Every structure is written in C-alpha cells, then in structure tokens.
Amino acid sequence: MGEVKVGVFLSDCGNQLPKVLDFDALTSFVKEIPGVVLVERSSEFWRGEGLQRMLDAVKSGEVDRIVVAESIPKLSEVSIAQAVEEAGLNPYLVEVIDLKDHCAWPHRETPSEATEKAKAMLLAAIERAKLLEPIEKLEFPALRSVLVIGGGIAGMQTAMDLAELGFKVNLIEREPFLGGIAARAGKFFPTDDCAICIQSPTSDVKTITHTSRKCVYRSGISRVPNLSILTNAEVVNVEGAPGNYRVTVEKRPRYVNELKCVQCNLCVEVCPVEVPDEYNAGLKNRKAIYMKSTHSRHRRERL
C-alpha cells in the first residue's frame, strides 16, 4: 500500500469547543503527524460549507483518508460517508471521533488536560485511518422470508407489516400465547379497553387516547396471508449469513390439539400437576396446563 494522504477536519461545534479545547494547539499538533496533508477547521463538516470543502479535497485527490472530529458523530458519520462516496472515495476510509461528549464536556473544568486528551484521540484516529482499507459493497440474493422472534405487541405489528409487504413471515413466541405483557394487563385509562385491545396491530386507531374496540384476539391475525405463527417455541440454533439464514426452532408440546380445542377449560380442571404461578410472583400455584389470562381464550392458532 502506498503512502496515504490523511485529511483532518476539526469541528469547533459552533465555536463552543474552543472554550475548553485549545484549537490552535490541536491544529499545530495534527500538522506535525506524518501522513497528514490537510487540516481544516469549521463549525461543522457534516453539511454546508464545511462538507463542501471536504468533498473538494476528495475530488481533487488531495486526500485519500479522512478523519473528522464532529460533535454529533452518529448523524454526521452517515452524512459524510454518503457524501464522500458520491465524490469518489470509499466510505470505509473515513474515521469520525467525538471531541465534545468524549473530551471537552467531561473535562471542562480542566482545559489543559482536555486538550491533551484531544491530542491523543486525534493521534489514535489518524493512525487508525492510515490502516483503513476500502471495502467494496457486494450484492447477494436474499430469501423473501422473515423470522420475527417475540410475539408481543411489537412483534405482532412487525410481522403483520412485513406480511402485508409480501414477505413470508414466521412469528415465533416462546410463551404459549401471543400478546406479551400487554395480554396480562387490565384496563387502560381513559377508554377502559384492555391493554391488548388498545395496542392491537389491527387497530384503526393506535393511540391510547382513543378507543379501538378491535381486540387482537378477535381479529384475523392468525389468518393473515404469508404469516405463520409458532407459539410455545424457541430458537435453538442459527446458521448462515444475512439474506440466507437457516434457523432451528424447538417447539414444546401442548398435549392439546389446538384445532379441536373449544376453550372449555376442562383440561385445567383435571390436570393433577401444580407449579408456581410466574404471573403472580410465585405467591400461589397454577395448573401445569393453563390459560394465560381471560384474553387468551380467543382463537385457534394456525401452526
């Protein structure tokens, strides 16, 4: 690999950081580091004039590695990576650090120590940038199927949304019933609807300030095309890679035929085994076979 040309772009966060960090000292320090060919300072580099100066340096070939000290790295890193890629530089040749939250603000009472720490952070970022190599994006065929793990409100909503988009969806829930915590809750203020009703994935109204009256347990979630539901089951092994996973699921037996079940509750009455009731902090026992709550007497699951 040939000699790299590192450009360092220092954001002063709208002139806030110089109140703590000595930017003149930082600039002089960075210029002396081997491999650094350009040092720029601006209020921000993830947009506007600062970003344009960075892109000009990339397009002209002046730099082939970029180190950016920004105040909002999570947001700025994405914007900068997209911009430099359009300018012709591999986005994986960009290193972003946060001199505000990781340096200036925690050490605002000791500016000299903060400046020394900033120097160390910049040196580490520059040395790492020198070792970065371009990573090319590859495209692989992906299966049009999705496994959603967890049959709570979020899992049900996600599964139904994906099914409506045309994906083949498998919804896995380790408990015997769907609904998660919401299925065990009582009524919610101000509508007096049960929690599972008010948050139903099939509700036309999804805010707690309005009534839904369209309970998930009376809805057709188990009859949604492309959606298969597997309760009382857990994932035990995952193999493969993104787009082509192979998942092994272990389903525990119910000892009841769901297709013939009429919710009569007789199986609970004759069951001879009792276990601690996890839904009452183990303060009392329940039968080993049980209905999770009154909300659970709702439907036959298509398994």
pLDDT of residue 156: 87
Fold classified for 145-253: FAD/NAD(P)-binding domain (3.50.50)
Is residue 114 within 8 A of residue 104, CB to CB? The reply is yes
Q: Is the pLDDT of residue 302 over 60?
A: no
Which backbone phi and psi does 170 adopt, to 5 degrees? -115, 120
Residue 132, Ramachandran bin (φ over 0: left; ψ between -120 and 50: alpha; else beta): beta
pLDDT of residue 213: 46
In this predicted model, what pLDDT tens digit does every residue of 82-133 receive, in sequence order?
A: 999 999 999 999 999 999 999 999 999 999 999 999 999 999 999 999 999 9
Quote the pTM value.
0.58
The structural domains of the chain, with segments of one domain joined by +, span: 6-131, 145-253
List, in sequence order, every beta strand (DSSP E) within 33-155: 36-42, 65-70, 94-98, 145-149
- 6-131 with 145-253: one CATH topology? no
The SS3 call for residue 218 is helix
CATH 3.40.50 fits 6-131, yes or no: yes
pLDDT of residue 169: 95
In this predicted model, what pLDDT tens digit does every residue of 147-190 receive, in sequence order?
A: 999 988 889 889 989 999 999 999 999 988 887 777 666 666 66
